[in-house]
Amino acid sequence: MRRSIILKNIKMKRITAFLPVLFLALMFLPGRTQAQDTSEYLVEFTDKDGVEFNPVEYFDAKAIERRILQHIPLNDITDYPVREDYSLMVASEVQAVHGVSRWFNAIAVSATPRQIEKVANLECVKNIIPLNHNLIVCEYTEAAPSKTNLEILKRQTARMGLEAFRAAGIDGKGVRVAVFDAGFPNVDEHPAFEHLRKDNRILKTYDFIKKREFVYTANSHGTSCLSCIAGMYEDTPVGLATGAEFILARTEKQFEPYREEYAWLAAAEWADKNGADIISSSLGYTANRYFREEMDGTSVVARAANMAARKGILVVNAMGNDGDESSWKYVGTPADADSVLSVGGIDPFTDYHIGFSSYGPAADGTRKPNVVAFGHAFLAKKNGYSDAHGTSFATPLVAGFAACAKQVYPDIPVMELFKRIENSADLYPYFDYAHGYGVPQAKALLSSEDLQTKATFKFLEDENSVSIKLVESGRRYEYPNSNYLYYQYLDKDGAILKYKVMDVYSSIPLTINVDDLDENVASVKAFYNGYASSININR
């Protein structure tokens, strides 16, 4: 019986899925030459019958500890190897084998249409999915160092509560962070990372493009991202997790065609095996690889990210930089995955959404972004320091916060850690598709008490309008966004129909004419200076 095969219309703007895979020694078959009409596929197998697996031999001790602390089974079938006989059967029919994935019981191959039809007829084959190409970093721009850079440097960590973390002795110590990027040139020499080298806290490295351990070359984007987690500028932290330990994976070759999708999952399985607590990834797919409706957490890379979460790893990923692109605007994948902590960007000078940061929600309605941080950051580059723009840098800033949160709560399940980070954010419980729940806050994370302020406003109703009136006696915290009123219109199911942010200049900053509202608006929710409230619309 012919096995099922998923072969959608493959166009430049419609590639249905992609998967980075774990590279094996079996890479290219002898005697075959690369044909012009080959494509890449993920071939999924039916079973792992008869395969043996010893988790104690396979996993790093820290990976075993993570599973035990989070009550995750050590002997899970998704960690078992792929059957060698199945791999060999497929290998004999295709142009080349690029690697395998234990997690998805699959092999990644290049094949001609005729070859893949033969593969589809093999009894061991469950499914075939066309693979995508050209994973990209969330692009960014650099500028020369300036006085403004140093102001941003101090604020990018202070905004999340550096002082509160340091007062509690929290710097990410003992937490293992995997960073996936396009290269890490000069991390082995740059003064920003001297403390990591001195303490031997870069534990493992691997270049999944060139298949070697050396990663201190190629694109400096990874150098910059690592600095936003744990770098130092002289005596000033660039990121919050200066005490964490790291494993570094080069997973892409920017600006050149390559199967980076294979490398991302390969790196995720490698990170899991080697005990990572957190994955920081500033990578994503959007318009040239998918359609908007496909950003629903079902792409193969989103499934891979969710699998990492299932293994107890917190995956932190950039929303993307398409917010000002009229043709897209929305979250890319894998940031659309429900178990990924997706990070958007705010402007450090206005403290609200920075124009390029992609918007939520995911196509299936999943709330995105989860949190935000500065989308314009001070960072290390290949030589020296600079500042740059992109959700690429908001993401590692949040990953540094997450490492500190993991140090505070080392034993809790990963999705509880996820929720605590969301709940610590400065807009919580208010949420919108530009800011998520806001910027994570150390003070809220560390506190065992409810830090929500007393009422800072109240709703006033009359026959045809609803107004917001500030309460002068309301207790106030020093919120950087304390001059902004956030408000939104919700339907009867609580879905966000529209949301806005406005400056506050008077004691009644907003009056809404009920007759002007869309008939689907059932309630209004607002947030001001640490306090959130809502009111039903009566017609």
CATH number of the domain residue 225 falls in: 3.40.50.200
Tokens found for residue 512? 């809404």
190 three-state secondary structure:
coil
Do 383 and 510 belong to one domain?
Answer: no
- Say if 472 falls within a structural domain: yes
Same domain, yes or no, for 291 and 345? Answer: yes
The SS3 assignment for 539 reads coil
| 103/307 Cα distance (integer angstroms) | 8
Domain limit, last residue, from 110, 130, 150: 130
Give the end of a domain, one of 390, 418, 446: 446
Q: Are residues 55 and 87 in the same domain?
A: yes
Contact predicate 242/396, CB 8 Å: no
Range of the domain at 56: 39-62+70-130
Q: How far apart are CA 209 and CA 158, in angstroms?
A: 36
Question: pLDDT at position 354, please?
Answer: 96
Say if residue 239 is in the same domain as residue 208.
yes
Instruction: For residues 408 and 472, state if they share a domain.
Output: no
Helices (H) and strands (E) in the chain — how many of each? 13, 25
Domain assignment present for 16: no
Residue 2 lies in a domain: no
| pTM for this predicted structure | 0.89
Does residue 510 contact residue 467 with C-beta atoms inside 8 Å? yes
In a domain, 269, yes or no: yes
Q: Which of 130, 145, 164 is the last residue of a domain?
A: 130
In sequence order, the β-bridge partners of residue 318 are: 343
Residue 220 domain-assigned (yes or no): yes
Strand-pairing partners, residue 293, are none
Pairwise CA distance, residues 1 & 331, whole Å = 40
* pLDDT of amino acid 139: 54
Domains held by the chain: number: 3
The answer to whether residues 208 and 293 belong to one domain is yes
**How do the pLDDT tens digits run along the chain, 539 residues long?**
434 444 433 322 222 333 333 333 344 444 354 445 888 888 999 999 999 999 999 999 999 999 999 999 999 999 999 999 999 999 999 999 988 999 999 999 999 999 999 999 999 999 998 876 555 565 555 555 566 789 999 999 999 999 999 999 999 999 999 999 999 999 999 999 999 999 999 999 999 889 999 999 999 999 999 999 999 999 999 999 999 999 999 988 764 444 567 778 889 999 999 999 999 999 875 544 455 455 455 677 888 999 999 999 999 999 988 888 665 688 888 899 999 999 999 999 999 999 999 999 988 889 999 999 999 999 999 999 999 999 999 999 999 999 999 999 999 999 999 999 999 999 999 999 999 999 999 999 999 777 667 899 999 999 899 999 999 744 444 444 568 999 999 999 999 999 999 999 899 999 999 999 999 999 999 999 999 999 999 87
In a domain, 105, yes or no: yes
* Residue 20 placed within a domain: no
Same domain? 219 vs 349: yes
Q: Are residues 419 and 433 in the same domain?
A: yes
- Say if residue 226 is in the same domain as residue 347: yes
Tokens (6 digits) for 359: 């918007």
| End-to-end Cα spacing for the chain | 61
Residue 123 maps to which CATH number?
3.30.70
Q: Are residues 247 and 295 in the same domain?
A: yes
Residue 470, beta-bridge partner list: 457
Which string of DSSP letters, residue by residue, matches 241-270? -TT-EEEEEE---TTS---HHHHHHHHHHH
Q: Is residue 32 part of a domain?
A: no
Count Cα neighbours of 484 within 13 Å in the Cβ-side half-sphere: 17
CATH number where 496 lies = 2.60.40
Q: How many CB atoms lie within 10 A of CB 113?
A: 10
Distances in whole angstroms, Cα of residue 345 to Cα of each of 37, 241, 317, 376 = 41, 19, 12, 8
Q: Are 388 and 434 members of one domain?
A: yes
Indicate whether 148 and 212 sit together in one domain. yes
